[in-house]
């Protein structure tokens, strides 16, 4: 039932066609030669360029100038696995164990306040060969801050994180996935790339556990970036269970999970103009789920939106 909108849409929006595909087919495979005639074009670059607005040469030039990274152009079955909102005293060590068992690498976009409280966990992340990146000093929506306050938060948090890990911090993901041109310029001016994502299991929602995995791999394209969370879970053990299932499915499909830095060595970055406030960020995450077959997903999503999200606000990253 690709293309069928649920009976309770949040709002009328145009959903990219690729997000309607595969939900009813189950989990997709990464092998570009696995019988899909259009597979040769199914890279994060192709998809992200299609989602860019404005389109055309001018849009491409603007994205190159002021775009955030959402993947790389490649046909190889590689992706960056990224965690937001940690470190968490229970979740993150468990996640590190699972990543080690599977031989996977990841980038942790940390909240500096959490990192300062758990220096041993941060050291373990680095020692295991993973990457530490910045999500914020706290989980503050920077689009609601004055330019001066946003600059102080971003630069101060980067400095504290660099002191903590003893190395440069190269990547920044804004809390909630909200961004203004001002906050973007501040982050880039601070020497960091702004990194978004192209795939997510929507682990901030209370979906059926298997459905989280289906949603994430339905969206994942070669060279993509997957967003997961290691912050406080809605239920004990849920984060670890989900990661285990995601990596199991990745292995089955021939995918290799990398850090953002390693992914960027695999191809030219895909940049998108990515400026949005909270409502747009929430819609961007929830709208594809409204094309799903199971009406229970809609109910779960709407219930979560009325409660506190894991980031201290309604839903998303
Ligand atoms: Zn977050």
Asked whether the beta carbons of 122 and 134 are under 8 A apart, the reply is no
User: What residues does the ion ligand 1 have nearby, CB within 5 Å?
Assistant: 84-85, 175, 311, 317
Contacts of 171 (CB under 8 A, 6+ apart): 107, 109, 131, 133, 134, 192, 193, 194, 195, 260, 261
Q: 21-37 burial string, b = 16+ CB within 10 Å, else e?
A: bbbeeeebbbebeeeee
Bridge partners of residue 82, in order along the sequence = 107, 227
| Confidence at residue 312, expressed as pLDDT on a 0 to 100 scale | 36
Task: Compute, in angstroms, the gap from residue 159 CA to the centroid of ligand 1.
Answer: 19
Active site residue 85: no
Ligand 1 centre to CA of 25 (Å) is 30
Q: Which two tokens stand for residue 167?
A: 């190395």
If DSSP codes are grouped into helix, strand and coil, which group holds residue 82? Answer: strand
Return the pLDDT at 114: 97
pLDDT at 275 (0 to 100)? 96
CA atoms within 13 A on the CB side of 287: 16
Query: Which residue in 84, 206, 230, 298 is the catalytic one?
Result: 84
This prediction has a pTM of 0.78
Q: How far is the CA of 116 from the centre of ligand 1 (A)?
A: 17
- Catalytic residue (choose from 70, 130, 135, 229): 229
| 78-84/224-229 β-pairing | parallel
Residue 117 CA to its chain's centroid (Å): 24
Q: What distance in angstroms lies between residue 84's CA and the mean position of ligand 1's atoms?
A: 5
Which domains, ranges and CATH numbers included, belong to the chain? 32-305 (3.20.20.370)
* Model pLDDT, residue 59: 75
Residues of the chain predicted below pLDDT 70: 1-55, 233-236, 291-317
84 is catalytic: yes
Distance 176 CA to ligand 1 centre (A): 5
Report how far residue 183's alpha carbon sits from residue 150's, in angstroms, rounded to the nearest whole number: 6
């Amino acid at each position: 039932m690709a293309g069928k909108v649920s009976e309770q849409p949040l709002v009328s929006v145009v959903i990219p066609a690729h997000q309607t595909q595969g939900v009813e087919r189950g989990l997709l495979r990464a092998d570009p030669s696995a019988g899909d005639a259009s597979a040769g074009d199914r890279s994060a670059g192709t998809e992200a360029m299609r989602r860019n607005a404005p389109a055309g040469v001018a849009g491409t030039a603007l994205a190159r100038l002021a775009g955030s990274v959402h993947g790389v152009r490649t046909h190889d079955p590689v992706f960056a696995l990224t965690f937001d909102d940690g470190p968490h005293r229970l979740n993150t060590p468990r996640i590190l164990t699972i990543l080690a068992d599977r031989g996977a690498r990841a980038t942790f976009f940390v909240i500096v306040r959490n990192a300062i409280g758990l220096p041993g966990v941060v050291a373990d992340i680095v020692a295991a060969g993973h990457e530490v990146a910045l999500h914020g000093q706290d989980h503050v929506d920077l689009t609601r801050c004055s330019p001066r306050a946003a600059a102080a938060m971003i630069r101060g948090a980067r400095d504290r994180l660099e002191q903590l890990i003893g190395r440069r911090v190269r990547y920044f993901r804004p809390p909630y996935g909200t961004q203004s041109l001002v906050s973007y310029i501040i982050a880039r001016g601070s020497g960091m790339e702004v990194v978004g994502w192209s795939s997510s299991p929507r682990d901030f929602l209370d979906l059926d556990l298997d459905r989280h995995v289906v949603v994430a791999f339905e969206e994942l394209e070669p060279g993509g970036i997957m967003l997961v969370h290691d912050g406080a879970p809605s239920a004990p053990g849920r984060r670890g269970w989900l990661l285990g299932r995601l990596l199991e499915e990745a292995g089955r499909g021939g995918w290799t999970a990398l850090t953002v830095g390693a992914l960027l060595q695999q191809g030219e970055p895909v940049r998108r103009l990515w400026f949005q406030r909270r409502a747009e960020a929430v819609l961007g995450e929830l709208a594809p789920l409204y094309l799903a077959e199971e009406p229970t997903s809609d109910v779960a999503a709407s219930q979560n939106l009325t409660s506190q999200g894991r980031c201290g606000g309604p839903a998303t990253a």
